[in-house]
Structure 1
Amino acid sequence: MDDAQKRRQLAAYIGKLFRDSFGKGPEGVYVSFGGPFFTVYMTNLMSATEQILMDQDQEEIIMSTRAKLMQKLIPEIRANVKLETGIELQEVYYDWGLHNRSGMITGIAHETFGAILTEDYQGKEQIHEEIIAISQRAQKAPEKINSYQLNPRTIVVIRSGILVMIEKELIRTGYEIQLKYTKRNLEQRFLHNNSHFEVILDRKVVDLFVDWDFEFDKSVILFVVSDIHSPVEMS
């Protein structure tokens, strides 16, 4: 089975998994992998109940419920990725763009999926500078930052060493869930309000996601950008 077939199989499986769990599956599921990275981008994912909660500004309830659901789904996704590709995901991150009814899953393996991974892309260093500046505003500059382009529409940014002492203490004393929710709100606001990304990439940023693994003091940011043939219109 070639990579395109594997991606289709995985996309179909994940779409069904979410449909069975949510009662309504995502309208689109786009699977990518390259190097050690595996990503899933989902569009139009929101149940009728969640929409009612959104209309009542109850996003925290949606995020909490989905977090509990993902505890069940992640092991199933790991197992299916291993079945289809022979590669085991060591780390799994996820985030939701509730305003766009979208979502992402990003997995990192110790092995490589064999697909081409672009380590150099337009504006890479400038993107790093913007991410570092945002990290400094939210907590502190990362000790290490790398990014990769998985395909023309998907960029993965990995930050390491970003937690400050007060955050580590909150995690140690059991406030991990509250800390993650607060950090997500803060960084999502900084990321979405940054107009420089589109200028640097010369593309529209369709979606932006962020998640953390506090145990490894690590974070993943996923950019989904417009097609190369639909660049940002410059005035």
Structure 2
Amino acid sequence: MDHIQSQQLYQLIASFTGKVFREHFGKGPESVVVSISHKFTTIYLRNFLINSERVLLEQNHESIIRQIRDQIMQRVVPEITSYLKLVLGLEPEKLYYDWDFGSKNGMLVAIFPEVIGVTEPQPKDYPGKSETERELMRISGRVQKEPLEVSSYEINPRTLLILRRGVLGELEKELIRLNCGELLRDVKRRLEKGYITGSSQMSSALGRTIADCFMEWDDELDQSITVILTNSPR
């Protein structure tokens, strides 16, 4: 598939995503940016915040917004998953999402069972890869536990996707068993995002500053998914 065809495919996915969000939330994102590389599709939602959520944010009720969005996303995720299968010819294994209410942006990540053959293969390495993975290992250990494995991928020149496997310690597993998983995620998300966006080591390794960060955990697979968006290279 050539560059023009790839861009048309990205636009189809972006348009469908915007339509689904408008139908279910009553308002869609200002823009949607789609990228496909390796086994991943990222869907970046810019400026997505409805008026009622704005009021809740002003009252420091971010957790309530997350709970409401989780309920709506139960209907959104199957529709987007089915559409990705239709246009890419490959069914996603999982679709994750996260929000940054400060920037009003969001991120969806679809993980596929094999490399998606609609774009030119991306190189496995990128400048600063080993340093970035070491820093993420250090940050994980600072919050709770170093993962057993870290692998990272450059989705496009400004987007990195990181998988960390074996991330749950015994304390976390027990909190999840006691139905405290959501509270655990909220705390870890706040801490890890703060450490990542404030990491001078990571910015130095990548040669660019970090603009946005999204993450989600999969307790069943004992892994976390992190997407880092950077500013333009210096």
Q: Same fold (TM over 0.5)?
A: yes
Runs (4+) of structure 1 moved beyond 6 Å? Answer: none
Q: CA deviation at 1:174?
A: 2.2
User: What is the rounded CA distance, in whole Å, between the counterparts of 2:59 and 2:81 in structure 1?
Assistant: 34
1:70 equivalent in alignment to 2:73: yes
Moved more, 43-52 or 191-200: 191-200
User: What is the rounded CA distance, in whole Å, between the counterparts of 2:178 and 2:211 in structure 1?
Assistant: 37
Give 2:177's aligned residue.
Answer: 172
Give 2:110's aligned residue.
Answer: 107
How many residues align? The count is 229
Amino acid corresponding to residue 221 of structure 1 in structure 2: T
Q: Secondary structure at the match of 1:65?
A: helix
| 1:1-235 → structure 2 map (5 Å cutoff) | 2-114=5-117, 115=119, 116-228=121-233, 231=234
What is the TM-score when the length of structure 2 is the normalising length? 0.93
Amino acid corresponding to residue 79 of structure 1 in structure 2: S
Q: CA deviation at 1:189?
A: 2.1
User: What is the rounded CA distance, in whole Å, between the counterparts of 1:186 and 1:107 in structure 2?
Assistant: 24
User: What is the rounded CA distance, in whole Å, between the counterparts of 1:186 and 1:202 in structure 2?
Assistant: 23
Q: CA deviation at 1:109?
A: 0.7
User: What is the rounded CA distance, in whole Å, between the counterparts of 1:160 and 1:25 in structure 2?
Assistant: 33
Q: Secondary structure at the match of 1:57?
A: coil
- Whether the 8 Å CA contact 1:118–1:150 is kept in 2: the answer is no
Moved more, 144-153 or 18-27: 18-27
Gaps of 5+ in 1: none
User: What is the rounded CA distance, in whole Å, between the counterparts of 1:202 and 1:111 in structure 2?
Assistant: 30
Amino acid corresponding to residue 175 of structure 1 in structure 2: C
Q: Secondary structure at the match of 2:86?
A: helix
User: What is the rounded CA distance, in whole Å, between the counterparts of 1:118 and 1:224 in structure 2?
Assistant: 18
Moved more, 63-72 or 74-83: 63-72
Q: CA deviation at 1:34?
A: 1.2
User: What is the rounded CA distance, in whole Å, between the counterparts of 2:66 and 2:124 in structure 1?
Assistant: 32
Q: CA deviation at 1:191?
A: 1.8
Amino acid corresponding to residue 5 of structure 1 in structure 2: Q
Q: Secondary structure at the match of 1:113?
A: coil
User: What is the rounded CA distance, in whole Å, between the counterparts of 1:101 and 1:91 in structure 2?
Assistant: 24
Q: CA deviation at 1:210?
A: 1.0
Aligned-residue sequence identity (percent) comes to 38
- Whether the 8 Å CA contact 1:143–1:161 is kept in 2: the answer is yes
Amino acid corresponding to residue 172 of structure 1 in structure 2: R
Amino acid corresponding to residue 177 of structure 1 in structure 2: E
Amino acid corresponding to residue 133 of structure 1 in structure 2: R
What is the TM-score when the length of structure 1 is the normalising length? 0.93
- Cα RMSD after superposing both structures: 1.4
Q: Secondary structure at the match of 2:76?
A: helix
Q: CA deviation at 1:39?
A: 0.6
Moved more, 160-169 or 187-196: 187-196
